[in-house]
Structure 1
Amino acid sequence: MDPHLLRTFVTVAHRGSFSAAAEELGYTQSAVSQQIAALEADLGLALLRRRPVEPTPAGARLLEHAEPLLLRLGAARADVLRAAAAPSPRLTLAASPLALTENLAVRLARPPRGELTIRATSRDDVAAVVASGEADLGLVDGIAAPSDPLRLPDVGPLSTIGVGEQDLVVALQEGHPLAGRAGLRLADLVDALWLQTPLCPVERLRDIAGDGFRIGMTYTGDDLHTVLRLVAAGHGLTLLPAGAASPAAVPLVAPRVVHRIELLHGTLAGHAERVAENLRR
């Protein structure tokens, strides 16, 4: 299958419109229609319904394969170009919301100094941004067992290494009945009301401790100060790294999980290699 046709198919499926896809891709609507028709002819299957525009069962199955394939192709291209590129003092570092800790920020200040852009990126997108060449390095954070790697999407030939771990705490409203405890177990909090955020997805808590963890409010942003304000107002509990939580937070003592940070990178040379080395130690 032609990757250009796959990319057009994925764009139409996501936008739900031939015209919107044509605008995004810089094609005419007729060209988009012809490309979809060519892909359907190649497979001998209808992939998109036209009114409304949505994948058929075969199209939905192809979509599951097409997106990872396109990511891998983009990663392969970026890796080859990165390896052949002349070293540059200009770097872009993609970082998920809680990945750039005070300690890592200090490590970035070590020589050699160059022009560095920090690109705020969601946890789910850090690996893809680095693999595609949009960023030279990536820092991603998440909840994991001590020394266990994070669960990252397979988007290409990236190297990963742990560069930081912090204890987790349960962020509570001041005056909460559990405030002031020496420690809390996650299993004792399954019936509590939780704040659902990208910083601490409730689904991850259920993976660790089973069902429960009622959602009191969902916040789709990743601003730490907003999360703390919502916790302080009583909208729910959340887990945060010890260094980012409010004074009312209580240490999580069981199970033994931590806030882990990993450095992601492809082929390194010159300034990027030295910055990566600074972050590793």
Structure 2
Amino acid sequence: MPALHPDVLAVLRAAREAGSRPFETQTPAEARAAHLQRARVLQSPGPWLPEVRDLVARSGEGPPVPLRLYRGGAAPESGLSPCLLFLHGGGWVLGGLETHDSLCRQLAHHLGACVLAVDYRLAPEHPYPAALEDGLAALRWLAAEAGALGIDRTRIAVGGDSAGGNLAAVLALMARDGDAPAVAFQMLLYPAVDLAMTGESYERFRDGLPLTAATMRWFIDHYLPPPLDRTDWRASPARAASLRGAAPALVLTCGHDPLCSEGQLYAARLEREEVRVTALHLADQMHAVLSMDRVIAPVGEVISFAAGILKRAW
């Protein structure tokens, strides 16, 4: 097993000393409060940006979807900026605009462009497909309102971390099939892409980390309770019949993460099916590392790298 970065070891030691409880031993409400508190401890406030404002995507087909727009850098000469539609992680049960505010600010800063964060509905109160429906509604609203927002509709990307990476990957396939507005790129940060939990890394990471096989089982049981089909590609994009024709991708994986093997296999399959993909593997890091920039030194450079890949794709 690869060695852990010293900063990660320090985070794990501090969590043990503080008596941090695994999410799966808590109620969803307790876990959400703990997750938000961890975010406040582990993340920096993020950089100042020229514009940060809350919006709402409204349609006649579903509930309003809260959004937050981040605009980084000066407006381009064309007057229109590219935009990353970002879907947060948290196992479809935790997280929201506040837990990922810092990461979205950093991405917008490094991109010198817009990031639109989606506050989708959470399980178990709103199980699958509610989160996906909200992500799709946000993407459709962004494409429709792009001009009014100063955004270039032809340079919209989708992205997210963990559960958000799952939603982004599904939206990218829907866009390929014409069931969602076109996207130019997909940024998949330690994504969950096969909810059948068959990856070999689930066997390696059963304890000692914030995210374990048991934690993922707890998340998935809330998101897709029986008898919902976990092999449907709209829940498990790795189960899609084909990935060919999807938008170019960045797939980031971490060595100490039960999602590691499925993310690596997804990146390999994208490449095999002739989708341009950049695969970045952080062997000494753990899941959700990009939300720990206050305490894990390399995080800022990784976020900058991810933004650089997207900027070049745009």
User: What is the TM-score normalised by the length of structure 2?
Assistant: 0.24
Rg larger in structure: 1
User: What is the TM-score normalised by the length of structure 1?
Assistant: 0.26
**Structure with greater strand share of residues:** 1
